């Protein structure tokens, strides 16, 4: 095994395990006795420690070793899980992540500052262990557990345990599972079977050859016993027989095991789960199909059991708890490889479009048909390639559970996070780039949106505030909502601050949405004091800039005393879209097809910027005027009706060129000042088509070119923002 090649995989998996560890710890905050969550945290720490040991990362092993020891004691109920311990374990997870970052950067050891940061965490964890007399053992990473020879538990179970060869390489300690088993019951008999141990020449020191037969007395359920071995379910075979099982079950188990049946029968008798007389009586019973068990057992004069082999063929072995689970049909692929594939698909689309245009000029029917088939295959390939980059936004949403936990502790507020729509999918690149803006919005909601507990009580609200994250698909876009049930934005205060800064035009009346949009102005804040968390408005200009860079939009809606909702609208992908091409003079533009509602012939009185669409007032933009295209209009013009959320408006163009697969190319920085354009694309003939930023044009149509007061009064609600 090449450990250098495997190290990046360890780093990635380690970070994923830390995220799992964090989610489980946050769930323990509300359900401290949830054993599944404790086991999940222990499993993550245990796996990181074991894998780090394979790579010789002793500093990672040493720290994780202490965390694992505390978690092992928590599993047994000796260490109480409270808010303080959860905070310490969360900080410990952060430190493990920092250690992995050091390894990823190519440094063998962390710097002194990072090492000093670990000292208080180690002190707190060690103090938890010593509070009940436990010490950390260097050999296994667990506090020692005694096997209690006494106890009043009833019900004798038989557990047959065979560890797989790779269990040590996967970072698992077989004896730790035996010790933990002793915490939920009493181990009456423990017989170690070294039968699988090969000779010295063939033995691999990294492999495990151990097996155990256990007589176990407990009152817990079989599911609880199975959960003891859930961390190694794929690396061992566990067969459990409950008390008072039928004798046929014991006979079948003896046959399934690889050791000598005579010896196993004696061990079963030694464990006390079955007697030699029971075995002999079962074999003498006509109801017992001896051939099925492939062996004859008779009682000898010493009370033992001897074996007489039968001449029957081997039966098909049954699957136990530890049977290898069906392999998940998935592979881990570097993101760079997927990005390269998407780029190649984009070039293929451009080449295919060019070939199709050339085929149309040949008047060759067979060539036309061949290119039609090729275009269909390219479209399927495009959809399949884009799906590779589509990820669920739930992973990003669940990160904010930690943000809510930490900020709530810092501000002294009681806040819960409610997440909806975590299965909503969008492009991986969009998910990565939206994480920071969403973090700022969530921190804003907690720090300045949710009131203090005392103030909420005065207003008749519940003591616990709520922050909601919601995501859903709409018109070919993904909408993300960040809501809080706090006090809402202070409309008058925002207006006063804007007036002081000269942001208001004299004599212009602003709608509520326009007023709330002022918080996105650079440096705008109404906060009385600056905190290290957020300031309503401070940094919001960066949030809007980052969202706009993703071809997205952001809006704010607020109700005094009830809360605030920030709505972020993002494209599904930044790579390839279905587009609808239009032209104005010699210029070609692309409208995202998901936003196109309908196409109609344009008719309007001169000088008007709104029209009547089946009895409804519809604002529109003439692209010729918007982009100052000098070519004269044709005798007939068309209008595309586009929809963004609940809002509609029109785009007046010369010609409709139809649908096309559009490969998105970013514009150069020198075009950043151009409004209404989000990107470019290469057409099949080599010319450039500009992709319209429909949300930006919508704002221009409905705000900058608002209809007259009389028309505005009859305009439907969907056209007034």
Count of the separate structural domains present in the chain:
5
Q: What ranges make up the beta strands (E) of 531-622?
A: 553-559, 563-571, 576-584, 587-592, 596-601, 610-613, 616-622
Query: Interhelix angle for 3-28 vs 394-411, to 10°?
Result: 50
Which residue range(s) make up the domain with 295? 156-309
Residue 274 in any domain: the answer is: yes
Task: Record the pTM.
Answer: 0.62
How far from the centroid of its chain's Cα atoms is residue 342's Cα? 22
CA dist list (Å): 332 to 2, 6, 45, 575: 18, 13, 22, 21
Residue 221 in any domain: the answer is: yes
* HSE, side-chain direction, 13 A CA sphere, residue 233: 12
Taking only Cα atoms into account, the Rg of the chain, rounded to an integer number of angstroms, comes to 34
CA dist list (Å): 565 to 351, 426, 479, 480, 648: 44, 21, 12, 10, 22
Domain shared by 638 and 590, yes or no = yes
Domain shared by 305 and 415, yes or no = no
Q: What is the mean pLDDT of residues 388-405?
A: 86
Residue 150 in any domain: the answer is: no
Domain termination site, one of 243, 274, 309: 309
Report yes or no: 321 and 233 within 8 Å, Cβ to Cβ: yes
Domain shared by 184 and 205, yes or no = yes
Q: How many residues does the chain have?
A: 721
Query: Taking Cα atoms as reference points, which of 541, 542, 570, 568 lies closest to residue 556?
Result: 568
Residue 147 in any domain: the answer is: no
- Helix, strand and coil content of the chain, in percent to the nearest 5, comes to 45, 20, 35
Domain shared by 534 and 670, yes or no = no
Domain shared by 633 and 684, yes or no = yes
Most confident of 115-124, 157-166, 318-327: 157-166
- Please tell me the predicted confidence (pLDDT) of residue 289: 47
- Minimum mean pLDDT among 105-119, 136-150, 306-320: which range? 306-320
335-347 tens-digit pLDDT: 788 888 888 988 8
Domain shared by 108 and 202, yes or no = no
3-state secondary structure of 314: coil
Mean pLDDT of the chain: 78
pLDDT tier for residue 712 given thresholds of 50, 70 and 90: very low
- Please tell me the predicted confidence (pLDDT) of residue 652: 92
- Minimum mean pLDDT among 44-58, 281-295, 451-465, 624-638: which range? 281-295
703 DSSP assignment: I
Q: What angle do CA 82, 13, 225 make, to 5 degrees?
A: 55
More confident residue, 288 or 375: 375
Percent of the chain with pLDDT over 90: 9
Q: What is the mean pLDDT of residues 176-200?
A: 83
CATH of the domain at 479: 3.30.565.10
Does position 166 have pLDDT exceeding 80, yes or no? yes
- Please tell me the predicted confidence (pLDDT) of residue 154: 53
Does position 46 have pLDDT exceeding 50, yes or no? yes
Report yes or no: 305 and 266 within 8 Å, Cβ to Cβ: yes
Percent of the chain with pLDDT over 70: 83
- Please tell me the predicted confidence (pLDDT) of residue 636: 86
527-547 tens-digit pLDDT: 655 555 554 444 788 888 888
- Please tell me the predicted confidence (pLDDT) of residue 663: 84
Give CA–CA dist 548/433, Å, rounded.
11
More confident residue, 298 or 674: 674
- Minimum mean pLDDT among 1-15, 138-152, 462-476, 584-598: which range? 138-152
CATH of the domain at 362: 1.10.287
646-655 tens-digit pLDDT: 788 899 999 9
Domain termination site, one of 368, 389, 410: 389
pLDDT tier for residue 54 given thresholds of 50, 70 and 90: low
Query: How buried is 278 (Cβ within 10 angstroms: 0-12 exposed, 13-18 middle, 19+ buried)?
Result: middle
DSSP 399-454: HHHHHHHHHHHHHT--EEEEEE-TT-EEEHHHHHHHHHHHHHHHHHIIIIISPPHH
- Minimum mean pLDDT among 171-185, 448-462, 675-689: which range? 171-185
CB neighbour list of residue 76: distance below 8 Å, 6 or more residues apart: 145, 180, 183
pLDDT tier for residue 134 given thresholds of 50, 70 and 90: low
Determine phi and psi for 446, rounding to 5 degrees.
-75, -45
Domain shared by 687 and 562, yes or no = no
Domain shared by 165 and 122, yes or no = no
More confident residue, 34 or 590: 590
3-state secondary structure of 554: strand
Domain shared by 566 and 594, yes or no = no
Residue 314 in any domain: the answer is: no
Domain shared by 614 and 703, yes or no = yes
- Please tell me the predicted confidence (pLDDT) of residue 159: 92
- Please tell me the predicted confidence (pLDDT) of residue 482: 94
Domain shared by 527 and 484, yes or no = yes
- Please tell me the predicted confidence (pLDDT) of residue 319: 36
Domain termination site, one of 536, 571, 606: 571
CATH of the domain at 648: 2.40.50.180
pLDDT tier for residue 590 given thresholds of 50, 70 and 90: very high
Q: What is the mean pLDDT of residues 307-323?
A: 36
Residue 245 in any domain: the answer is: yes
CB neighbour list of residue 568: distance below 8 Å, 6 or more residues apart: 434, 437, 438, 441, 479, 480, 481, 482, 547, 552, 553, 554
Does position 382 have pLDDT exceeding 90, yes or no? no
Residue 368 in any domain: the answer is: yes
Residue 514 in any domain: the answer is: yes
- Please tell me the predicted confidence (pLDDT) of residue 5: 67
pLDDT tier for residue 467 given thresholds of 50, 70 and 90: very high
652-694 tens-digit pLDDT: 999 999 888 888 887 777 776 777 888 888 887 888 899 998 8
Domain shared by 378 and 438, yes or no = no
Determine phi and psi for 200, rounding to 5 degrees.
-55, -35
pLDDT tier for residue 567 given thresholds of 50, 70 and 90: very high
Give CA–CA dist 170/378, Å, rounded.
43
Does position 282 have pLDDT exceeding 70, yes or no? no
- Please tell me the predicted confidence (pLDDT) of residue 292: 40
pLDDT tier for residue 495 given thresholds of 50, 70 and 90: confident
């Amino acid at each position: 095994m090449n450990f250098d090649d495997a190290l990046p995989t360890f780093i990635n998996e380690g970070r994923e395990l830390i995220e799992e560890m964090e989610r489980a710890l946050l769930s323990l905050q509300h359900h401290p006795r949830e054993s599944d969550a404790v086991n999940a945290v222990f499993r993550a720490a245990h796996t990181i420690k074991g894998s780090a040991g394979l790579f010789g990362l002793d500093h990672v092993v040493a720290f994780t070793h202490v965390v694992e020891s505390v978690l092992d004691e928590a599993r047994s109920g000796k260490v109480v899980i409270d808010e303080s311990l959860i905070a310490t374990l969360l900080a410990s997870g952060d430190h493990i992540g920092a250690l992995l970052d050091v390894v990823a950067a190519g440094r063998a050891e962390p710097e002194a500052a990072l090492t000093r940061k670990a000292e208080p965490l180690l002190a707190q964890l060690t103090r938890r262990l010593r509070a009940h007399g436990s010490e950390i053992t260097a050999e296994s990473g667990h506090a020692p557990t005694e096997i209690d020879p006494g106890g009043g538990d009833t019900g004798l179970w038989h557990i047959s345990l065979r560890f797989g060869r790779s269990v040590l390489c996967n970072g698992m300690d077989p004896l730790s599972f035996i010790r933990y088993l002793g915490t939920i019951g009493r181990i009456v008999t423990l017989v170690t079977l070294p039968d699988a141990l090969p000779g010295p020449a063939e033995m691999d020191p990294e492999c495990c050859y151990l097996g155990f037969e256990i007589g176990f007395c407990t009152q817990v359920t079989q599911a609880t016993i199975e959960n003891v071995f859930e961390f190694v379910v794929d690396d061992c075979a566990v067969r459990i027989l409950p008390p008072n099982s039928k004798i046929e079950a014991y006979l079948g188990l003896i046959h399934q095991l690889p050791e000598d049946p005579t010896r196993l029968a004696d061990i079963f008798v030694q464990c006390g789960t079955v007697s030699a007389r029971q075995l002999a009586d079962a074999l003498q019973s006509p109801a017992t199909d001896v051939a099925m068990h492939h062996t004859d057992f008779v009682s000898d004069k010493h009370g033992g059991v001897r074996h007489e082999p039968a001449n029957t063929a081997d039966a098909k072995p049954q699957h136990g708890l530890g049977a290898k689970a069906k392999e998940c049909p998935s592979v881990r692929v570097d993101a760079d490889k997927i990005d390269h594939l998407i780029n190649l698909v984009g070039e293929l689309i451009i080449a295919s479009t060019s070939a199709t245009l050339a085929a149309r000029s040949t008047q060759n029917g067979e060539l036309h048909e061949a290119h039609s088939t090729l275009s269909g295959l390219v479209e399927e390939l495009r959809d399949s390639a884009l799906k590779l980059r589509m990820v669920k936004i739930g992973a990003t949403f669940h990160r904010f559970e930690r943000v809510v936990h930490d900020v709530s502790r810092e501000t002294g507020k009681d806040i819960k996070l409610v997440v909806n729509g975590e299965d909503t999918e969008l492009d991986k690149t969009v998910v990565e780039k939206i994480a920071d803006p969403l973090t700022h919005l969530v921190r804003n909601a907690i720090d300045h949106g949710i009131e203090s507990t005392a103030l909420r009580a005065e207003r008749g609200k519940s003591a616990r505030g709520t922050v909601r994250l919601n995501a859903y698909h709409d018109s070919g876009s993904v909408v993300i909502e960040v809501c809080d049930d706090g006090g809402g934005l202070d409309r008058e205060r925002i207006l006063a601050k804007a007036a002081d800064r000269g942001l208001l035009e004299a004599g212009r009346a602003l709608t509520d949405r326009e007023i709330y949009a002022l918080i996105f102005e650079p440096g705008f804040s109404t906060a009385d004091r600056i905190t290290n968390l957020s300031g309503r408005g401070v940094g919001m200009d960066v949030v809007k800039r980052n969202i706009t860079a993703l071809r997205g939009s952001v809006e704010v809606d607020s109700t005094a005393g009830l809360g605030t909702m920030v709505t972020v609208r993002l494209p599904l992908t930044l790579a390839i879209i279905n587009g609808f091409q239009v032209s104005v003079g010699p210029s070609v533009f692309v409208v995202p097809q998901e936003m196109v509602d309908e196409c109609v012939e344009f008719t309007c009185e001169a000088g008007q910027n709104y029209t009547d669409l089946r009895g409804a007032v519809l604002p529109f933009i003439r692209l010729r005027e918007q982009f100052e295209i000098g070519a004269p209009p044709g005798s007939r013009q068309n209008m595309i009706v586009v929809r963004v959320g609940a809002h509609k408006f029109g785009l007046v163009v010369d010609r409709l060129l139809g649908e096309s697969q559009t490969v998105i190319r970013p514009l150069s920085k020198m075009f950043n000042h151009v409004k209404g354009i989000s990107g470019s694309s290469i057409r099949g003939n080599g010319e450039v088509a500009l992709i319209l930023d429909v949300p930006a044009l919508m704002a221009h149509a409905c705000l900058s070119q608002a209809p007259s007061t009389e028309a505005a009064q009859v305009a439907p609600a969907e056209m007034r923002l």
